[in-house]
Structure 1
Amino acid sequence: MSAEEAVEELLTRVTADRLETYEELLGALADSEVWMLLWQGAPGEPDAHYGGIELAGHGYAPCVTSAGQLTASGWNRAYEVLPGRDIAAALYPDHWGLWLNPHAPGGGLGVPWLDLRRIAGGLDRLPAGPLRISEPSVGVDTFYARLVALAQRTPVLRALWRAWVRPALGSSYLAIGLDVDGPPEHGADAVRAMMREAVVEVPDGLTVGTVAMADGYDPVAMWLRANTRPFYDRDAAGVGRAGDPDRLGYGYPGGY
């Protein structure tokens, strides 16, 4: 079975309660090609642009998943064939999702921009959404105290944040937001060393992950900045709530 055939077979099996199947679909989409429908212009022309579908305030670029589906759609304008990873990387920075086979019975399926980010960056590296994020209630004060003490000796570290993250698939975990001076890679070795030394205080069974607060596309970092204050702030004054929580959203049904 080709990657395109796998996508089309999985599309027939995806339902709201079959998240494992949806995850398989994302993996197949990453390895396949898609036929992007050009509303205007031809491939490579400066004025070429894709069509658009809007649902609940979120934009999606329509595509079809094979040459056969292109014929079935009746599309009579230009199109271009692109690898799934490439189109995912091109769309998600503008918060655009990808709509698969909108001509199909039932209207096809939309893949939110946040899942395109996962396809572009690696499905195994980013947690499966929609994420449920809240303030943590786990009692790990010793870990927090150790982190703060180490942060005070890590000049590049500006602030520390925390959240409890429940992915759609996989175990919940404690996320530590890392706000560093300069780009995320600046002082990365020092920050990694800090985290390695601090996690010895984490009790068995608790998973801890990190998130770069400078990542403007990470849903955990976005939630932290909109809803919480850092538990360690090198500069103390001037850091607080930012953004409007009601305006967050990633294109998932239900407002996530």
Structure 2
Amino acid sequence: MLPRITPDRLDAYEELLAALAESQVWMLLWHGGPGEPEAQYGSVEVEGHGYAPCVTSERELRESGWTRSHEVVGGRDIAAALYPEHWGLWLNPHAPGGGLGIPWLDLRRIAGGLDRLPAGPLVISEPSIRADAFYERLTLHARRTPVLRSLRRAWVRPAVGPAYLVIGLEVDEPGERTARAVRHMMRQAIAAVPDGLPVGTVAMADAFDPVAMWLRANARPFYDRDGIHRSGPGPAARPHGYGYPGPY
């Protein structure tokens, strides 16, 4: 599938991510052997971002000329291991053209479920669509939800799929009780959403979610239980893209 990946073929890239999630990669070990405590993956840096190099088959391993140890790892497993450290995965760096890098945000999508997390690069901005009745009802029910500290909003355009409204949820303490309370609040308010407007939510405490990152940096709360959030550029926040080391 790798030769099919071009900047204008995001559908092919999504297929590649799905294939990677269900297959294995041969991780190149710079130190140690498979399963050893001192084992360490190789590393490459591209535009200031770190990637762990790998190959995609036994044949590619032979063609790479790699003479040190290697380790065979499932795609989801390596994705889950790398993305929390903001490391990506570089496929077949020996191939003509230098192979292909998978940024850590896409590894997070592989680990968490491609159908659950939006395809990047994301373009994120303040919402321009009118949904005043929804915001008013959401604020009303937020006041009745003691575990909720604040609400923010953003407009997200993924690389694949429709744009949608995101509500950023800041809570006192995560947990099942909090999750139930927040779900109940959203159900109470969702009837006021304009017809045809997709709505999603994101936890503000998620340190790895690009939408939560943008909200923390750029959006003032439209509901603030404690009235302490006074910084941020507010409605004039500029659109910003997340998901890749550089422009596609």
TM-score bucket of the superposed structures, by smaller chain: over 0.9
Match of 1:178, SS? strand
Query: 1:155-203: per-residue Cα shift (whole Å, max 9, x none)?
Result: 0111000000000000000000011111254411111011011110011
Find out whether 1:62 has 2:53 as its counterpart: yes
CA RMSD of aligned residues (A): 1.7
Structure 2: tracts of 5 or more residues without a match: none
Query: Structure 1 stretches (4+) deviating beyond 4 angstroms?
Result: none
Rounded Cα–Cα distance in structure 1 between residues aligned with 2:109 and 2:88: 12
1:251 is aligned, of 233, 244, 247, to: 244
Query: Which residue is equivalent to 1:116?
Result: 107
Rounded Cα–Cα distance in structure 2 between residues aligned with 1:223 and 1:185: 25
1:78 is aligned, of 55, 69, 72, to: 69
Q: Which amino acid in 2 is paired with 1:130?
A: P
> 8 Å contact 1:184–1:214 — kept in the other structure?
no
The answer to which of 20-29 and 230-239 deviates more is 230-239
> 8 Å contact 1:130–1:252 — kept in the other structure?
no
> 8 Å contact 2:122–2:242 — kept in the other structure?
no
> 8 Å contact 2:120–2:244 — kept in the other structure?
no
Rounded Cα–Cα distance in structure 2 between residues aligned with 1:158 and 1:18: 41
Matches within 5 A, 1:183-194: 183=174, 185-194=176-185
Q: Which amino acid in 2 is paired with 1:117?
A: R
Find out whether 1:223 has 2:185 as its counterpart: no
Query: Which residue is equivalent to 1:42?
Result: 33
Find out whether 1:152 has 2:143 as its counterpart: yes
> 8 Å contact 1:174–1:206 — kept in the other structure?
yes
Query: Which residue is equivalent to 1:16?
Result: 7
- State the percentage of identical aligned residues: 69
Q: Which amino acid in 2 is paired with 1:205?
A: G
Match of 1:253, SS? coil
> 8 Å contact 1:184–1:212 — kept in the other structure?
no
Higher relative contact order (CA 8 A, sep 6+): 2
Query: 1:48-82: per-residue Cα shift (whole Å, max 9, x none)?
Result: 11111101110000000000000000000000000
1:28 is aligned, of 14, 19, 23, to: 19
Query: Which residue is equivalent to 1:5?
Result: none
Matches within 5 A, 1:86-165: 86-165=77-156
TM-score by length of 1: 0.91
TM-score by length of 2: 0.94
Query: 1:24-60: per-residue Cα shift (whole Å, max 9, x none)?
Result: 0000000000000001111122221111110111000
User: Structure 1 residues 63 and 229 mapped into 2: Cα distance closer, same or farther (>3 Å)?
Assistant: same
Q: Which amino acid in 2 is paired with 1:15?
A: T
Structure 1: tracts of 5 or more residues without a match: 1-9
Give the superposition deviation at 1:234: 0.4
Match of 1:223, SS? helix
Match of 1:161, SS? strand
